[in-house]
Amino acid sequence: MIIQRVVLNSRPGKNGVPVAENFRLEQSTIADTVQAGQVRVKTLYLSVDPYMRCRMNEDTGSDYLQPWQLSEVADGGGVGVVEESKHENLSKGDFVTSFTWPWQTVAILDGSLLQKLVPQLVNGRLSYFLGAAGITGLTALLGVREKGHVAVGANQTMVVSGAAGACGSLAGQIGRLEGCTRVVGIAGTDEKCSILVQEMGFDAAINYKKGNVAEQLRELCPGGVDVYFDNVGGDISDTVISQMNQNSHIILCGQISQYNKDVPYPPPLPPDIEKVQKERNITRERFLVLNYMDKHEASILQLCQWIQEGKLKVRETVIEGLANIGAAFQSMMSGGNIGKQIVSVSK
């Protein structure tokens, strides 16, 4: 069977900025027959995520991320529909997902590595299983619960950087749902800031490209910062940390501003900011959602309930066509999208 697939065409280099041309669309073939335990699936949606920047390097810098190989098919979160099955728990027409879905139009996969989906949990929006009801939502929810130490009635203020992104836009809302009394986002355009406040219930949002971020933080967080959901690292994070309270908490989710630099993860803080962190007893521990597998099922159900109740607002940027996945990746890494970046492969 002839299919289309996307392979890694070139590496941007550890300090380079990814471009669409780092990926290549090509024709390939898969077997016409399905073996015992396998299923043939048609790809519906693929997820494009910041962490994938690390997979473009020969050394990802992480023991749990495998590098993409040159001229080999890329992979990541995906959702598809079963076209043929020789796996006892999956049938034709079932919707399924995987963290290691190949970037191709049709694939033959090991059925035991797929998770069966219930579309009704997300009101039929299957792409949500790659975002708000998937690993992105889990990262936001478990990050807040496991590292944020949010408590109802504690009058806590949360700040979220990269707040208009897939994870940040959910994290701020979840911080509120879990008990924070004030939530402030940091984003890169007035449009993003407006969406955070008017649509997603943030109390305020700062456009870091306009004005003085430190002054705006002092104005919008007069009682200081108790919880910081950090998606970006770098200068913005240094500014937030300098205004954090005694015994406050950093949820170290991502460091997207550092992903095109050859630095360790998590990147070390500047000496003056590290001094603030230690003197104020601010926690800053690496967070990895895969370390909480035992909590995934219950957490997904909680996220789906909030979505159904309208308590969790979801934004997606959907790009049509497998051929455009490289451009989608480039756009995401440049901060051009709002919410989760999804590529729609086949209707």
Listed by start position, the domains of the chain span 2-131+315-344, 135-290
pLDDT digits (tens, 9 = 90+) for 8-52: 999 998 788 899 999 999 999 999 999 999 999 999 999 998 889
pLDDT of residue 347: 52
pLDDT score at 278:
97
Mean pLDDT of 165-186: 96
Q: Across the beta sheet with 182-187, what order do the strands follow?
A: 204-207, 182-187, 157-161, 225-230, 244-252, 283-286
Q: 153: how many CB neighbours lie within 10 A of its CB?
A: 7
Q: Which distant-in-sequence residues (6+ apart) come within 8 Å of 269 by Cβ?
A: 238, 241, 277, 284
pLDDT digits (tens, 9 = 90+) for 80-113: 999 999 999 999 999 999 999 999 999 999 999 9
End-to-end Cα spacing for the chain: 19
Per CATH, the homologous superfamily of domain 2-131+315-344 is: Medium-chain alcohol dehydrogenases, catalytic domain (3.90.180.10)
Express each pLDDT in 48-80 by its tens digit: 988 898 899 988 877 788 999 999 999 999 999
Neighbours of 264 (CB within 10 A): 8
Alpha helices by DSSP H, the chain = 52-55, 135-147, 166-178, 190-198, 213-220, 234-241, 271-279, 296-308, 325-333
Q: Which residues lie below 8 Å from residue 243, measured CB to CB, with a gap of 6+?
A: 214, 217, 218, 221, 224, 225
Amino acid at 258: Q
Q: Residue 297 burial by CB count (10 A; 0-12/13-18/19+): exposed, middle or buried?
A: exposed
- Residue 211's φ and ψ, nearest 5 degrees, are 70, -170
Percentage above 70 pLDDT, the chain: 97
| CATH superfamily of the 135-290 domain | NAD(P)-binding Rossmann-like Domain (3.40.50.720)
Question: Cis ω on the peptide bond leading into residue 267 (within 30° of 0)?
Answer: no
Identical fold, 2-131+315-344 and 135-290? no
Average pLDDT, the chain: 92
Per-residue pLDDT for 156 more than 60?
yes
